[in-house]
Amino acid sequence: MEHPSDSMPNGPINIGSTHFLALPRPDILTGPPPGTVDTTTLAAHDFDVDTRTGFMPPQAPLRRLPVDWEPWEEVLDDAVGRKLQLGDGLDLDEGEKIKSEVWRKTVRKLPILPITELKKSEVLLRRAHHVLGWIMHFYIHSLPPRTPIRIPPPLTLPLLQVSAQLQLPPVLTYSDDVLYNWYIPNSDEIIPTHTSPLRCQTLFTSTKDEAEFYLVSARIELRGVDALELMRITMDEAFVGDDIAARRITTYLRDLAGVIRDLAGILSSVKGGCDPDVFYRDVRPWFRGEDSISSSSSGEEEKRKWVFEGMEMDESLTEPTELSGPSAGQSSLIHALDAFLGVDRYSHSKELTGSFPSTTSTQTSSKSAFLQRMQLYMPRHHRAFLTHLSNNPRPLREVVLSLTRSGEHPGLMEAYNESVRALKEFRDLHMVIVALYIVGPAKRARERERERAAAVGEGGEEGEGTRRRPLKGTGGTDLVKFLKGVRDQTQGTLLPLPGAPS
């Protein structure tokens, strides 16, 4: 397949040595010196949030690393081309096992490539993280059950080094699957929108089901651009805080509710292109993290530690502690909506909502801790954006309360609640999707396993325990319990309208 970039010049574009894009990439820990532009990306000074595409890059992500790192690209192409199968598949034949091991041997024989030149470009580092992360997940999840998971040095060293530069965990993330995993074929269109004919760069299964799963999230991100703009102009008006500002904020919040409902419509569209059983059986297992539980061919569930071999060859490397798989909880857009509306900060606060504190405050703290941990899996500029948004000296919730305290602008409080309700409805729908794509298929898979065990005279108490064990998300959470908690937390953010029963 021809890449859209194939028609572009092979050599670097010549720019002047004093041009800001020609300046060295700032150190990842200290950042750019005072008075120096952050050149890691074109939009880094705006938290890498583009006014046209939001958290998505305004141009298609790099589709291939330069020739020095071609061995990585070739190994990834080979994995996709071989159509490798999951190692814990019940119907995996000997030929598939041999094919997978032949491929894994090529990974172990890779040269250990330096990343020195990659450090000069955020775009190159992103592509490297994408390629190496995908190779690692192919490697791990094609292994037979009960086989120790040992990631070989040719993969360990560059992946951990690249991840350190990007301040990301050495594992596939939402940004690898969604933000930096798209292109627009046969089109001169440069700036994508949520209606653009997006395609995926990399897939585990080469199925339309997997592609649609990622692309629905990409469309949500692109439709969310309007939500980010409405947040911006709302905060501008909040600093003014007069009657005109109150009327404008009312309009903006009603518009925001409409955008959030559009996001829900896009989320619902996944049902038209992604089959639930194909997703659960063939796609989802590929992006499990270390904290996910996999099933062996005998039906037993197991959790295996990921061992990164060769770390002693680079004293700067540390043992990875964050190895959860990609999940919707890593979407900066949804976190931004929560921060803007005050879902985490104000939910169940009696002083601000008139409702009594939650009786499950420990659970709420646990959910907040998980969502904060998921921010570690986001591009670092996006994390900085969320921190900036959360530290707003005039939070929207307080502005709404202040402007409506004397009974003025009743429509403002209603508009705020309309946005919160729209977000709660989005989470209601998310739970429906989870039930359709994970809970239902998991139940059917357990039923089939019990039938198989009964047919061969197995079963018993262990099977019952497996049936009762809560479902885990790819982020490592008790999935249904977590989603219900976040949904209820959103509901608890609603402001009590004057005259309404407390």
Per-residue pLDDT tens digits for 193-209: 999 999 999 999 999 99
CA pair distance 467, 450, nearest whole angstrom: 10
d(C-alpha 223, C-alpha 54), whole Å: 9
pLDDT in tens, 43-60: 556 799 999 999 999 999
pLDDT at 244 over 90: yes
Residue type, 316: S
d(CA 132, CA 134): 5
Q: In angstroms, rounded to a whole number, what is the distance separating the alpha carbons of residues 290 and 306?
A: 6
SS (H, E, C) 180-244: CCEECCCCCCCCCCCCCCCEECCCCCCCHHHHHHHHHHHHHHHHCHHHHHHHHHHHHHHHHCCHH
Tens of pLDDT, residue by residue over 327-384, are 999 999 999 999 999 987 764 333 333 333 333 444 555 666 778 899 999 999 999 9
Q: Report, as an integer, the average pLDDT of 263-271.
A: 98
**SS3 state at 20:** helix
CA distance 480 to 478: 6
Distance CA 138, CA 287 (A): 9
Cα 24 → chain centroid: 29
Kind and range of the H or E run holding 301: strand 301-302
Sign of CA dihedral 197, 201, 202, 206: positive
Contact of 331 with 217, CB cutoff 8 Å: yes
Walk me through the domains of the chain, giving residue ranges and CATH numbers: 39-203+277-313 (no CATH), 218-274+327-447+462-491 (1.20.58.480)
430 is known to lie in a ligand binding site:
yes
Q: Which two tokens stand for residue 9?
A: 């010049």
Burial of 160 (0-12, 13-18, 19+ CB in 10 A): buried
> pLDDT (tens digit, 9 = 90+) per residue, 384-424?
999 999 998 899 999 999 999 988 899 999 999 999 999 99
Q: Degrees (nearest 5) of the Cα angle 32, 34, 40?
A: 20
